[in-house]
A and B are shown apart, each in its own frame.
Chain A
């Protein structure tokens, strides 16, 4: 909310200091804005005569007194004799507005110096200003500004419109406190911060005065708890006094008429929205708070018509809705200059109802913002009392009828706590006296005995409900920065550590030696029937991803096309299938061997090795990455002419489980090994994995198989390739004999010949 520093009754010496105090103790101040006149050298004057320019139809020629002399001024505006005006004399600076710049579509402003101008033989010695030219208004000109009749002549305009400072608070962080949307709330805070106490009077419900002229009722009882109405005769056309118009203008609210100005004033100062209707527009001498009928309509002050639903609250007469309750007044029931009788209303609406309606129509108003935060019965009574008294005082009006409909019982929260509990929560030894003073200055009623506090909360503090809230009040006003910094011993049971985190970091660090770590979106545009769907997606990203690789492959293709020829990336992230597992996936433009080297390095760092095994699923061949007998991921090659993109996706949990089993030392054989070579030629569609699996099966004495040569199209045979292996045989307990190895080799060769149609070289 915006508070004009000059209108705060309690404050620090400067706007800056005041803003600092509020930021440190109550709510953050966004900024301080100066408001007031921006033009310079403009003085007050009075129109003495008005006549048409002899040679220019559309111009008026005026004589304007600025006290020490009389100036001739040409203007196209309509003014009358004796009007008091703001005169920009020769040499003064005003703001000119170029409305709606064609290119930028926004108004541009600049300072212009006024000079003598001769038009068709007559010289103009100045200019009459509008609010926009003075810098008092941001919006387009409402024509020449007419000053009040009692304005003295020759006075610099800065004297009438002194520069003021607006302190703008950030309300987002205090959504629980409706009192901070009022001058009284902010003044109360500043008083407590500055160590002062504001005396408050006891709050009493107004006295009822029943007449046959009007009836009031609440039909929507769960949407409205209390409905206060006052029927008032306005005997004469009274205007708002200067202090009121000035207050509203400074607060950037348009003055309209006395009753409306007062309700706006009460909303700003007391924080409670009240509303006054023109009583002559009410049909049937009857008002009620009710739910709208489906498709009922109401025209509102923003010149719009809303089609209502059954859940929207309205204040209605016997025929029609008069307004959109708690949000915006009705256009047809608004007070005009002709209004002779008004109905002042003040209702306590349910915040949730107001919020729903305000959201569904997309209108947030000063009133709805306050109701949404939750207001109290007491706040309603206070707001109504203040508005009623001001209207009666300032208009000499006559109260015809006053009704209290609903429940006007004020509940003030009672909290019992101990000062020791407050100290133990804050970790600072604030003495009893200090705690009591802080709470008293915030207008909590307090009794203290032996450190036991019996507290009654002030009626405007709906948010304070328990001892912890009281501790917060003490901490805030005492000052968060006055509380020391201590380091607790948090070294508790460390056994529950998230087990994947360690592997996560090893994998990241290793992969990042060769690949870029990236972050891709969890939301994707394609998903199968099991994919989790979003109810409110942005654009076409309707699904939660079911793998990481697809996104990484897409990214790799994109980066390749952008000119990163050897781009490779990886991500450690969740996929959204059952249990939302953590995966480690990579995609890279590289030679196959390079991709494998990398995969090998990563497994090596984890203390594991891997094997690739191909198998046939329903419609495709899949290559899985196996560790021992467990498939821990998938390896894939994607052809995107002219490159292959290699990718893999590993399950971090499975890797971790394997690694845990792997942590123990296993005895190795110190006895000599026997090495043999084996070279075969076979159909190239039979993969390496299949051959190795077949060799392995022949003997448990094989301790290592390594490929040392691969020749495609062996000897010019198109569909054949040659594979050459080193085989290593060993046993922990005995020295192997050449003869037994010969037998094994023979078996291997037989098997390869028979089952894979291999030729031994």
Chain B
């Protein structure tokens, strides 16, 4: 018949073994395992009378707890040491590029406004890049755009606006597209110029779009990009593919309009060009320009990023220095 003493003896036996340095896992198996000594004994309890079963059961519970406790201590004292301050094998220390981040943000903002992302090739035909946008050969506007040409007579696009022809010919209005990407100008690089940089363009055509809509859309886009209240000034400017054409200035953050070094003492910072699409572009797709109106804008991503992050030398963006990249989120 199983009794309390047998349980006490089991504990003494186990304590001895633990103190003699036996392996904790082996002992656990031997005493508390499914077919261990304790389990074998506890199975016999069912043969006892009810009142005895209660007394012995109490004892068994105490012994089991004790065994568990001792074996736990034993286990933890056998654990090898670990250095938790060792470095990771795969360290998280990279960073997104501020220009790509800016383009991604511009996509996000313009998608909220209802634009859809589109894409056109960087190596373009002359027609898409110039003629269709009414920048004819010998047009003085081409002065501003010293162009890279490929040997086979194509151009490295000088603006992301080059996507307009394919969009208007392949989509029936209403539509609204944006595109961010690389553009090229054949000019010497300095603190304010790169020969490869990025633009973000928007082009929407629908019935009854207005100049007021253009103002609203761009105000929202600019304010959301700079994440603060902005004061804008729309003023007349000329681009061959829009009419009316405008350029947008933003009141300088640093001097709030009084004039300082960062705004060239003008109080205003030039931001982007925009306008209502010229009727010939609308008509080229067989649409009535008095019914369908287009909005168009194009901004320099580097320019936006420089103002947003406070970067003064545009070449920082192409130096790819970790010490620069790490700072800009």
Residues of A within 8 A of B (CB): 23-28, 31, 172-177, 351-352, 355-356, 372-373, 421, 424-428, 466-469, 471-472, 475-476, 480-481, 483-494, 496-498, 500-501, 505, 508-509, 511-523, 532-538, 544, 555, 559, 564, 566-570, 572-574, 576, 580, 591, 593-594, 597-598
A179 CA / B186 CA spacing, docked (Å): 30
Contact of B92 among A469, A471, A514, A537 (CB under 8 A): A514
**CB <8 Å contact, B236 and A426:** no
Residues of chain A contacted by B100 (CB below 8 angstroms): 508, 517, 519, 572
In the complex, besides A176-B240, A533-B150, A566-B93, 8 extra interface pairs with C-beta distance below 8 angstroms are A31-B265, A428-B210, A480-B234, A490-B176, A508-B104, A516-B97, A591-B89, A593-B89
**Closest chain B residue to A601 by CB distance?**
B90
Q: Beyond A496-B116, A514-B94, A559-B322, is A532–B123 a contact (Cβ under 8 Å)?
A: yes
**CB <8 Å contact, A174 and B149:** no
Residues of chain A contacted by B279 (CB below 8 angstroms): 466-468
**CB <8 Å contact, B243 and A472:** yes
**CB <8 Å contact, B91 and A25:** no
Q: Contact string, B164-206, partner A, CB cutoff 8 A, digits 1/0?
A: 0000000100111000001010101000000110000000101
A492 CA / B104 CA spacing, docked (Å): 21
Residues of chain B contacted by A521 (CB below 8 angstroms): 196, 318
**CB <8 Å contact, B89 and A534:** no
**CB <8 Å contact, B217 and A487:** yes
**CB <8 Å contact, B182 and A485:** no
B307 sits at the interface (CB 8 A) = no
Residue of B188, B213, B235, B322 most packed against chain A (CB within 10 A): B235
Comparing B18-26, B44-52, B61-69, B107-115, the segment that makes contact with chain A is B107-115
Q: Beyond A427-B212, A486-B213, A486-B216, is A574–B244 a contact (Cβ under 8 Å)?
A: no
Residues of chain A contacted by B237 (CB below 8 angstroms): 27-28, 173-174
B320 sits at the interface (CB 8 A) = yes
Contact of A425 among B184, B211, B233 (CB under 8 A): B211
**CB <8 Å contact, B94 and A517:** yes
Contact of B213 among A351, A488, A598 (CB under 8 A): A488
Residues of chain A contacted by B247 (CB below 8 angstroms): 28, 173
**CB <8 Å contact, A173 and B238:** yes
Instruction: Write the nearest CB–CB distance from A366 to chain B, whole angstroms.
Output: 15
The 3 closest A-B pairs by CB, nearest first: A427-B210, A490-B114, A427-B212
A535 CA / B155 CA spacing, docked (Å): 10
**CB <8 Å contact, A468 and B278:** yes
Residues of B within 8 A of A (CB): 89-97, 99-100, 104, 107, 113-119, 121-123, 138-141, 143-144, 148-152, 156, 171, 174-176, 182, 184, 186, 188, 195-196, 204, 206, 208-213, 215-217, 219-220, 233-238, 240, 243-247, 265-266, 276, 278-279, 289-290, 293, 317-318, 320, 322, 325
Residues of chain B contacted by A467 (CB below 8 angstroms): 279, 290
Selected A-B contacts with CB under 8 Å, 12 pairs: A24-B235, A175-B143, A351-B138, A425-B211, A472-B236, A475-B211, A488-B217, A490-B113, A498-B118, A519-B317, A538-B186, A555-B320
**CB <8 Å contact, B290 and A484:** no
**Closest chain A residue to B170 by CB distance?**
A496
A515 CA / B138 CA spacing, docked (Å): 46
Residues of chain B contacted by A489 (CB below 8 angstroms): 114
**CB <8 Å contact, A487 and B116:** no
Q: Beyond A544-B150, A555-B320, A594-B89, is A484–B215 a contact (Cβ under 8 Å)?
A: yes
Instruction: Write the nearest CB–CB distance from B229 to chain A, whole angstroms.
Output: 14
Mostly helix, strand, loop or mixed at chain B's interface? mixed
Residues of chain B contacted by A425 (CB below 8 angstroms): 210-211, 276, 293
A559 CA / B247 CA spacing, docked (Å): 40
**CB <8 Å contact, A488 and B244:** no
**Closest chain B residue to A494 by CB distance?**
B116
Contact of B320 among A498, A514, A518 (CB under 8 A): A518
Instruction: Write the nearest CB–CB distance from B291 to chain A, whole angstroms.
Output: 9
Residues of chain A contacted by B243 (CB below 8 angstroms): 468-469, 471-472
Residues of chain A contacted by B293 (CB below 8 angstroms): 424-425
**CB <8 Å contact, B121 and A580:** yes
A751 CA / B134 CA spacing, docked (Å): 69
Contact of A534 among B117, B139, B148, B216 (CB under 8 A): B148
**Closest chain B residue to A541 by CB distance?**
B195
A472 CA / B92 CA spacing, docked (Å): 54
Residues of chain A contacted by B92 (CB below 8 angstroms): 513-514
Residue of B99, B113, B149, B215 most packed against chain A (CB within 10 A): B215
Contact of A485 among B176, B184, B219 (CB under 8 A): B219
A523 CA / B185 CA spacing, docked (Å): 12
A485 CA / B214 CA spacing, docked (Å): 8
A175 CA / B92 CA spacing, docked (Å): 51
Contact of B276 among A468, A492, A532, A576 (CB under 8 A): A468
**CB <8 Å contact, A522 and B182:** yes
A521 CA / B194 CA spacing, docked (Å): 11
A717 CA / B143 CA spacing, docked (Å): 71
Q: Beyond A493-B175, A498-B118, is A520–B320 a contact (Cβ under 8 Å)?
A: yes
**CB <8 Å contact, A476 and B236:** yes
A520 CA / B289 CA spacing, docked (Å): 42
Instruction: Write the nearest CB–CB distance from A479 to chain B, whole angstroms.
Output: 9
A503 CA / B323 CA spacing, docked (Å): 27
**CB <8 Å contact, B196 and A352:** no
**CB <8 Å contact, A490 and B276:** no
A533 CA / B150 CA spacing, docked (Å): 6
**Closest chain A residue to B246 by CB distance?**
A480
**CB <8 Å contact, A519 and B320:** yes
Residues of chain B contacted by A472 (CB below 8 angstroms): 236, 243-245
Instruction: Write the nearest CB–CB distance from A253 to chain B, whole angstroms.
Output: 23
Residues of chain B contacted by A25 (CB below 8 angstroms): 235-236
Instruction: Write the nearest CB–CB distance from B247 to chain A, whole angstroms.
Output: 6
A517 CA / B116 CA spacing, docked (Å): 25
Residues of chain B contacted by A355 (CB below 8 angstroms): 138, 140
A174 CA / B244 CA spacing, docked (Å): 12
**CB <8 Å contact, B320 and A492:** no
Residues of chain B contacted by A485 (CB below 8 angstroms): 212, 215-216, 219
Residues of chain B contacted by A172 (CB below 8 angstroms): 144
A522 CA / B185 CA spacing, docked (Å): 12
Instruction: Write the nearest CB–CB distance from A462 to chain B, whole angstroms.
Output: 13
Contact of B94 among A174, A488, A500, A515 (CB under 8 A): A515
Instruction: Write the nearest CB–CB distance from B214 to chain A, whole angstroms.
Output: 8
**CB <8 Å contact, A532 and B244:** no
Instruction: Write the nearest CB–CB distance from B282 to chain A, whole angstroms.
Output: 10
Residues of chain A contacted by B220 (CB below 8 angstroms): 487
Residues of chain A contacted by B246 (CB below 8 angstroms): 480
**CB <8 Å contact, A518 and B235:** no
Contact of B96 among A483, A517, A534 (CB under 8 A): A517
